[in-house]
Structure 1
Amino acid sequence: MSAPEPTRPRLLAAAPWIVVLAGVLVMTVLFALAAGYLTGDRRTSGAPEPAWPFAPGSTPAPVDSGTDPASPSSSPSAAPRTPTPTSARPNGGKPAASRPAPPRTTPARPRPTTSAPKPPEPLTGRYRVLADYRDSFIAEVLVRNESGSAQSWTVELRFRHEVDDLRGFWVEGAPRPSVDRDDGRWIFRSGAPLAGGESDPLRFQFERWGDGERPISCTVNGRACQIP
């Protein structure tokens, strides 16, 4: 019988390949288990599968916004902003020319206001020389009442030292006045009130040496007389 003798050497020769095939089979099983574990863990975590925005070679479809542009219910689009004009500088960095100022309006000149006429002085006086002699002279103070009521008057005269004594005095057509001398002044007071609009010519004669008939001062009720 010759059957068992040749089989043992063949089995010993094939033993290494059996070990290699068993290792490959074990690695394949382990790889399959690992791949399945990773795939299951990704799906369990809920991470979405990566998706391409469009398939290669295809045109993307327009996105539907869900609103009709012609629909009246849609909100109106914002109006375009009007650009604000800015002053541009010319080349060279020089500032732009300023706008000319508007012409100034000249205000109307106020009309001159006409002041009310000054009321006339109640009593006025005017001095004049009536006659001139070698050693004396006769002069007059014309007293006039510019008011509408009768008033009494007082005439004061002051002369230089050339005028000395008073020879006489009177009022034409009126009572004789009174006279006093005080500190170089001659003071004449009316004998009766002077009616409104009337005049009293007060006249007097003084002695003098040289040219002294022009008085230094003359007043009627404190107001200066007119002396030519």
Structure 2
Amino acid sequence: MSDHSAPRPEARSAPAVLASMPWIVVLLGVGLLAVLLVFALLSFRGPEQPPAPEPAPPMYLPRMPSVTSSVTPPADSPLVAVDATPSVTVSGTPSPRASTRRPTATPTSRAPAAGSGRVSADYQATSSDRDSFSARLTVRNTTGGAREWRVELLFTGNVKSIRASSDSGLSVRTQGTGWFVLTGTRPLPAGESAVVSMNFDRTGTGDQPGQCTVNGADCTIG
């Protein structure tokens, strides 16, 4: 007689299938997550950068030729005072550049140079103290027309500077230590005189020039 209470094989396999189903779900979920991760990585990946272009060849500009210019310096402008080598102008316009050759500082004859038909000059010291002295220069025109005049005074090295003035217009320049050139800024009319007042700074003694000329002729030194 057969036992109908024994379990059938088909009845025992159903619970085993049900027990393995959660692992299947887990595997499917892991696979789905892997697919989503790959998709996310691909979507966040930036576009590929194109390769940098090769640099352009250097450009060479033509070199411009250098240009040099020479500027002729203007003539020395006269100043207000004379000390050693600078130039001086008390009034009027500057005179032409004087010669730079220094005359020989030797005493000249004191014979009067005034006379008819020429421009003459008289130099006379008016006062003197320890470090300076004053003098007066009188230029006369005894010709028949207006004349330009130029007086050169040459002292020894102890005379350092000059300050001069004249109502008729005067330009004063120095050619070196103790060598002064006084020039009228306008022609001196016939029969008239120009009086120049001068103050000199010095060391030592002496108030008369070793040489005085007016337009190249000797002055009268008194």
TM range (shorter): 0.3 to 0.5
Higher relative contact order (CA 8 A, sep 6+): 2
Larger of the two Rg values belongs to structure: 1
Q: Which has the higher strand share?
A: 2
